[in-house]
Amino acid sequence: MSAIPRTAPTPLAERPAWRALLEHHKKTGTLHLRDLFAADAGRGERLTLEAAGLYLDYSKNRITDETIALLMGLASECGLRERIAAMFSGEKINVTEGRAVLHVALRAPAGERMLLDGVDVVPEVQAVLARMTAFCDDVRSGSWRGHSGRPIRNVINIGIGGSDLGPVMAYEALRHYSRRDMTFRFVSNVDGTDFAEATRDLDPGETLFIVCSKTFTTLETLTNAHTAREWALRKLGDERAIRRHFVAVSTNAEEVAKFGIDPQNMFGFWDWVGGRYSMDSAVGLSTMLAIGPEGFRAMLAGFHAMDEHFRSAPFERNLPALMGLLSVWYNDFFGAQTAAVFPYDQYLKRFPAYLQQLTMESNGKHVTLTGAPVGVQTGPIYWGEPGTNGQHSFYQLIHQGTRLIPCDFIGFGKTLNPLGDHHNLLMANVFAQGEALAFGKTPEQVKAEGTPDWLVPHRVFEGNRPSSTFLLSELTPEALGKLVALYEHSVFTQGVIWQIDSFDQWGVELGKVLAKKIIGELEGSGPAPGSHDSSTTALMERYRKQQG
Ligand code: F6P
């Protein structure tokens, strides 16, 4: 069944549910969280949700019960239930690329059926997982040897975007579970410094490169992969060494073979897995090497638990749906331009960077599925840092600045590194930040502390700054899978409301094409007269002079 809407659906801003929310916002948008809590003693327990082992407190959001009801109405009116079903049933909902969106099949347990054009894709997924498992067992046990007979001690993933951000985030997040006698590094930037610094202290004879690229045509990745090849061959001196030191993760067997990687050493995936939705496919080979096949399967089970919850729970008890709708509420009705995500766990330090691609490459779109202007604001800018570091940097603006920035706090009941009272101090800060943002400090309170009048306005915290707090018990591979799937489906929910294609990324193309043209000109005789604007031409000429 085609997922391309034949006729333009009613523009979002004209939908009854949207209009009702606009009216509702006019009436309730200025309500203060202080008053909402004062009027409802049970709010902090009532506006919570527990599912798939995740606890969400969403009571410190600027909502009433009616807001939730209206947002649920919007979800129904925009066909969220039907769109979820379409995704899970392999419809080609990535309409501009004519592709299905089936990353949920990557974590479906063996035996479950997920159909694409009438064919069950789960056996293929499981077959790749089995090959990954055998390979990782060989490398981890030392039975896979480098060209000179030594075991692999270093793994370098070369990839960019979805072929890097997921692997590096997962490695950092699950470092506690990783092989500590192996080194894992990630090279993404075409800046030679990235490669040089990642390899400077490594022995090629003990190093395995994973060249990770869905298309196997990405300029940055191919450039780094060729440099890696030269680096390895310089020391190992024999083309046959490539077989033992290079593996590929890709959908493009032809290009992999052209590069010189043995097809036996290629782990495949499929065009129905978007790059930013691929960390649980073969793209996660480095993750599996680090934490082992069992850990990887546990992560997949976490993803799957959240998938099942998203697919089946009613919207008012559905974590990703609720998160996505709250995001729309702030983005479109309060005019919030950004959304902050603060994991209070050092291991999640790359989680915000990972989310930036997931959210912004997915929902940074200006037209609907039928090509009409969306007519409302889409994808907010996601950003964040692990707590508590951000508190001593940019939290000032969140507390007392002029912008509204909804925040997600992510904390864990137990730490993986119990050291004195560190964890209590860390978590005390999660709770304190949410409380301070919501309730602030009134002028009366500030005055009562003996503050001179002139200083009072500077010390007042308006409060009414929304946040959601996620509490999980411990950062395990399973918990990471749940968290990632939670944000994936929240992004999907937002995209459904905005009626956009959350799975294409045409916006990255123009820069790529221009860069290719400019490389030729920089390395040739310079820009031809009139081939660029005056600014670009002058910059290129200056650069060429600097190069001598
Ligand atoms: O340029 C954007 C992008 O296409 C991302 O969507 C993707 O994750 C990344 O490049 C890397 O692509 P590939 O895995 O094909 O090298």
pLDDT tens digits, residue range 309-350? 999 999 999 999 999 999 999 999 999 999 999 999 999 999
Q: Where are the beta strands (DSSP E) in 88-214?
A: 115-116, 119-120, 154-158, 183-187, 207-212
Percentage of residues in the chain with pLDDT exceeding 70?
Answer: 99
For residue 214, the CA-to-ligand 1 centroid distance in Å is 7
Cβ–ligand 1 contact at 161 (below 6 Å)? yes
- How many helices, marked H, and strands, marked E, lie in the chain? 22, 13
Ligand 1 atom 6: residue of nearest CA:
275
Q: Among 218, 270, 281, 512, which is best to mutate for testing ligand 1, by the most ligand atoms less than 8 A from CB?
A: 218
Q: Compute the mean pLDDT over every residue in the chain, rounded to the nearest whole number.
A: 97
The whole-number average pLDDT for the span 94-104 is 98
pLDDT at 1 over 50: no
Q: What pLDDT is stored for residue 102 in this prediction?
A: 98
Q: What pLDDT is stored for residue 8 in this prediction?
A: 72
pLDDT at 222 over 70: yes
pLDDT at 548 over 90: no
Instruction: Compute the chain's Rg from CA coordinates.
Output: 25
Lateral strand order in the sheet of 266-268:
183-187, 154-158, 207-212, 246-250, 266-268
The whole-number average pLDDT for the span 459-479 is 98
Ligand 1 atom 9: residue of nearest CA:
161
Give strand pairing partners of 246. Answer: 209
Taking alpha carbons only, the member of 342, 329, 423 closest to residue 380 is 329
Q: What pLDDT is stored for residue 2 in this prediction?
A: 47
CA-based end-to-end distance of the chain: 59
pLDDT at 6 over 70: no
Taking alpha carbons only, the member of 382, 370, 367 closest to residue 336 is 382
User: d(Cα 197, Cα 203) in Å, to the nearest integer?
Assistant: 13
207-221, 396-410, 512-526: least confidently modelled range: 512-526
The pLDDT confidence band at residue 5, using thresholds 50, 70 and 90, is: low
pLDDT at 354 over 80: yes
pTM: 0.97
The pLDDT confidence band at residue 3, using thresholds 50, 70 and 90, is: low
Ligand 1 atom 5: residue of nearest CA:
161
Catalytic residues, which ones? 361, 392, 512
Q: Is the dihedral of CA 294, 295, 298, 303 positive or negative?
A: negative
Taking alpha carbons only, the member of 332, 317, 323, 319 closest to residue 17 is 332
Taking alpha carbons only, the member of 225, 277, 215 closest to residue 251 is 215
Percentage of residues in the chain with pLDDT exceeding 90?
Answer: 97
10 Å CB burial of residue 409 (0-12, 13-18, 19+) is: buried
Cβ–ligand 1 contact at 213 (below 6 Å)? yes
Q: What pLDDT is stored for residue 9 in this prediction?
A: 81
The whole-number average pLDDT for the span 246-261 is 96
